[in-house]
Amino acid sequence: MRNSIANHLKIKLTVALFAGFCLGCPAHLWSGEPLRIVTSFYPVYVAALNVTAGVPGVVVSNLASPHIGCLHDYQLTAGDMRRLAEADVLLVNGAGMEPFLGKVAEQSPRVRVVAVSEGIPLLENNPHVWVSLAGARQQTANIASALAAADPDQADAFRANAATYQAALSDLEEKMRTALAPYAGTPIVTFHEAFPYFARDFGLDLAGVIGREHGAEPSARELADTVKLVRARQVKALFAEPQFPDQSARVVARETGVPVYSLDPVVTGPSDPVAARGAFLLAMEKNLEVLQEALR
Ligand SMILES: [Zn+2]
């Protein structure tokens, strides 16, 4: 009799300890469910796919569909809110890219929100930090740390994947630095404010940015000023983006005779995870080719 009471107490104690332990850990660890990671937009999706490649029990999905681009004006849909309600971790760019984080905190308080640009010094509060291979490396490290905290059993796998991806980013950066060194100080004009980190990294002179955000049509005055600037600074090339109409770039090109090329900030790309994993490196390789063609 005494034995059975002791056993009963032991079971109760074990259950209490187990429950107490698990109350403090992410739900997926004791529910047997996968670690559900949602990324806010394409660049974060690509980095998260690299950090989680081949790691079992992890599901990565992207909130904004891959053709949306930057999230400056993005509004969460009912479908997004449903997805966030089931997510363990929401990886966002941060630095002001996602205007909807207040709503997430209010309506999906359970999801752990991680700003992957944490610790990256900003240029004039510009959120486009991933359009720099160094920025992309830091974001990758931040993602690995966040996922290691969310799923400690897989921490080594996340960190090893991050190191592999960071090495590939470093190799490409080295190649680009060497190839672009002859063009240091060359003035360029872009048509979205996505490239200050990129220009800084490669010593290009970002002489002007017109239509600072997607969808913002520059005024006639702004176009006229850009034409003046392109002539005065002897700008060699104008850079629009593949994702967006380039009418204003065409206007400036027609007025000045300076050609328009396309630089990709990698805010869109294939959604298939295998293709997406390599999409950032591929797009940056293409950017290098375009710059070499435009600036030679
Ligand atoms: Zn943007």
CA of 192 to the centre of ligand 1 (A): 7
Q: How confident is the model at residue 213 (pLDDT cuts 50, 70, 90)?
A: low
CA of 175 to the centre of ligand 1 (A): 26
CA of 279 to the centre of ligand 1 (A): 18
> Is residue 77 pLDDT above 60, yes or no?
yes
Domain boundary among 155, 175, 195: 175
What CATH number should be reported for the domain holding residue 148? 3.40.50.1980
CA of 11 to the centre of ligand 1 (A): 56
Q: Could you tell me the CA-to-CA distances from 172 to 55, 90, 177, 286 in Å, in that order?
A: 25, 28, 9, 11
- Per-residue confidence (pLDDT) for residue 13, from 0 to 100: 44
> Is residue 187 pLDDT above 90, yes or no?
yes
- 29 vs 289 pLDDT, higher one: 289
Same domain, 93 and 167: yes
CA of 162 to the centre of ligand 1 (A): 25
Give pLDDT tens digits for 4-28.
Answer: 545 554 544 444 444 444 444 555 6
Same domain, 67 and 84: yes
CA of 127 to the centre of ligand 1 (A): 7
Domain boundary among 150, 175, 200: 175
> Is residue 192 pLDDT above 60, yes or no?
yes
- Per-residue confidence (pLDDT) for residue 72, from 0 to 100: 87
3-state secondary structure of 242: coil
> Is residue 97 pLDDT above 90, yes or no?
yes
Rounded Cα gap, residues 92 and 90, in angstroms? 6
Domain that holds residue 18: 1-25
CA of 287 to the centre of ligand 1 (A): 17
CA of 120 to the centre of ligand 1 (A): 17
Q: Average pLDDT for residues 128-155, to the nearest whole number?
A: 98
- Per-residue confidence (pLDDT) for residue 69, from 0 to 100: 86
CA of 69 to the centre of ligand 1 (A): 8
Mean pLDDT of the chain: 90
pLDDT > 90: what percent of the chain?
77
- Per-residue confidence (pLDDT) for residue 218, from 0 to 100: 84
CA of 53 to the centre of ligand 1 (A): 27
> Is residue 178 pLDDT above 60, yes or no?
yes
CA of 292 to the centre of ligand 1 (A): 24
CA of 128 to the centre of ligand 1 (A): 6
> Is residue 243 pLDDT above 80, yes or no?
no
Q: Average pLDDT for residues 254-272, to the nearest whole number?
A: 95
- Per-residue confidence (pLDDT) for residue 9, from 0 to 100: 46
CA of 9 to the centre of ligand 1 (A): 60
CA of 70 to the centre of ligand 1 (A): 5
> Is residue 101 pLDDT above 70, yes or no?
yes
Domain boundary among 123, 156, 175: 175
Same domain, 130 and 255: no
- Per-residue confidence (pLDDT) for residue 29, from 0 to 100: 61
Q: Average pLDDT for residues 259-272, to the nearest whole number?
A: 95
Helix H, strand E, coil C: the string for 43-104 is HHHHHHHHHHCCCCCEEEEECCCCCCCCCCCCCCCHHHHHHHHHCCEEEECCCCCCCCHHHH
CA of 114 to the centre of ligand 1 (A): 19
- Amino acid in position 115: A
> Is residue 1 pLDDT above 50, yes or no?
no
Closest CA to 112 of 140, 84, 79: 84
CA of 191 to the centre of ligand 1 (A): 10
User: Total domain count for the chain?
Assistant: 3
- Per-residue confidence (pLDDT) for residue 28, from 0 to 100: 65
Same domain, 79 and 148: yes
Same domain, 171 and 44: yes
CA of 231 to the centre of ligand 1 (A): 26
Candidate from 8-22, 84-98, 155-169 with smallest mean pLDDT: 8-22
Same domain, 102 and 138: yes
CA of 219 to the centre of ligand 1 (A): 19
- Per-residue confidence (pLDDT) for residue 21, from 0 to 100: 47
- Per-residue confidence (pLDDT) for residue 30, from 0 to 100: 61
Q: How many CB atoms lie within 10 A of CB 57?
A: 14
